[in-house]
Amino acid sequence: MEPALVLAQETIADACGTDPGIMCELVYDVTGSESVAQVADWLQAPIAALLILAVAWFVNRIARRLIGRTVDGVLARREAEQESEAAEAEAKAKAEVRPNLQQRAFARALALRESSERRTQRTRTLGNVMGSLATIVIYTIAVLMALAEFDVNLGPLIASAGIVGIALGFGAQSLVKDFLSGIFMLVEDQYGVGDVIDVGDAAGVVEAVNLRTTQLRDVHGTLWHVPNGEIRRVANKSQEWARTVLDVEVAYDTDIAKAMEVIKRVADEVWEEAPENATILEEPEIWGVEAFGASSIAIRLAMKVEPAEQWATGRLVRGRLKEAFDAEGIEIPFPQRTVWMHQVEDEPEPPPAPADRKPEDHAHEEYLPEKPAEEEAGD
């Protein structure tokens, strides 16, 4: 090795140590000053940490922007679909000649627009949650890399974090499951506040939707807190429209054609009237004879109604059907039983035993009926 090269290496080692950093070596080569090189070597770790944090900030901005654009794209598609549905509902409302149904149709179009705003807010909230998660992940990695620049031993730290993560994974797996299920539920927009749903163990009106739980109020007024991770299926009974299906039972000797005519007339009257909480959207349909029962024939009636109004519509139509059947003389069957009574003539009772005789004295005697008085006189 040349003496000049050996001297240069010894000089750099004096200034920057035996394992010189890139910045210290570069500054020493440029300035030739040991003190300036030592200051640069001391500032190398903070400057590298700042650069790492700056890169993390830049990556975080890009990630949040990508998430925002994705959310905006989803919102644009959904808004276009919902605007089309609202416009179609308004067109149907304008074409409706009955004032009460026209008013309800306009209210339905307005509800569609309000639900669009609700979905927009929900999607933006989900986008903010995803952006926050991305920020946490990016800055966590950046902080670990910055600590490594200060020669911090990350092995014990990562091992401790791994142990804590495993413990949380076992202990809070249900919480993580609820959280992830809540995210997918928000993405798919399965239900919202005010919807009537059935989740298996509970059914009722949705009062609150969170990332972890869903709150339901059932018909008895009980408030159910259902974890999102426990919901395996959801039946939404109040989305867009509903259907009331009634199996009207009549007696076997009823004229089926007449019964269908009466049922159709009653349903059409309710359809034309369009009550406030029992609005039928389309002409009611008689689907025909549904079943033969033990004492009745079931005729099925189907009515397409406003969301969450199928129960009120069913109660109203049942009440009017009872009045119409009574007026037309159509019998609503009920369980009946015919009992045949068979009367048996009374047998003559044996005479009582004499008081001076014991029961065992005449236990084996044959009973003979008494003779008539005329026979006794003849004898």
What's the pTM value of the predicted model, to 2 decimals? 0.58
Q: Which residues contact 289 (CB under 8 A, 6 or more apart)?
A: 256, 297, 298, 299, 300
Distance CA 10, CA 180 (A): 60
Q: Around 52, how many Cα atoms within 13 Å sit in the side-chain half-sphere?
A: 19
Backbone dihedral angles phi then psi of residue 204, each to the nearest 5 degrees: 165, -165
Q: Which residue has the higher pLDDT, 272 or 167?
A: 272
Q: Which amino acid is at 143?
A: V
pLDDT at 367: 45
Q: Does residue 127 sit in helix, strand or coil?
A: helix
Residue with tokens 């009973």: 367
Cβ atoms of 190 and 126 closer than 8 Å: no
Q: Which fold has domain 189-236?
A: SH3 type barrels. (2.30.30)
Domain extent listing, the chain? 48-152, 189-236, 242-328
More confident residue, 197 or 378: 197
Comparing C-alpha atoms, which of 111, 155, 134 is closest to residue 65? 134
18/24 Cα distance (integer angstroms): 12
User: Sign of torsion, CA 146 149 151 154?
Assistant: positive
* Phi, psi torsion values for 41, nearest 5 degrees: -65, -35
CA distance linking residue 155 with residue 161, whole number of Å:
10
Q: pLDDT tens digits, residue range 294-353?
A: 888 999 999 999 888 899 999 999 999 999 999 999 988 877 677 777 776 666 666 665
CB 286 within 8 A of CB 246: no
pLDDT in tens, 131-182: 888 898 898 888 888 888 777 777 777 777 777 777 766 767 777 788 888 8
Poorest-confidence range of 221-230, 249-258, 333-342?
333-342
Residue 252 and residue 332: Cα distance in Å, rounded? Answer: 10
Query: 12: closest CA among 43, 42, 35, 34?
Result: 34
Same fold, 189-236 and 242-328: no
pLDDT tens per residue, range 88-130: 766 666 666 566 666 666 666 666 666 666 667 667 777 787 8
Nearest C-alpha neighbor of 257 from the set 148, 330, 172, 159: 330
Task: Give me the pLDDT at residue 42, please.
Answer: 63
Neighbours of 24 (CB within 10 A): 24
Lowest-pLDDT choice from 9-18, 181-190, 192-201, 264-273: 9-18
Q: What is the pLDDT of residue 141?
A: 87
CATH number of 242-328: 3.30.70.100
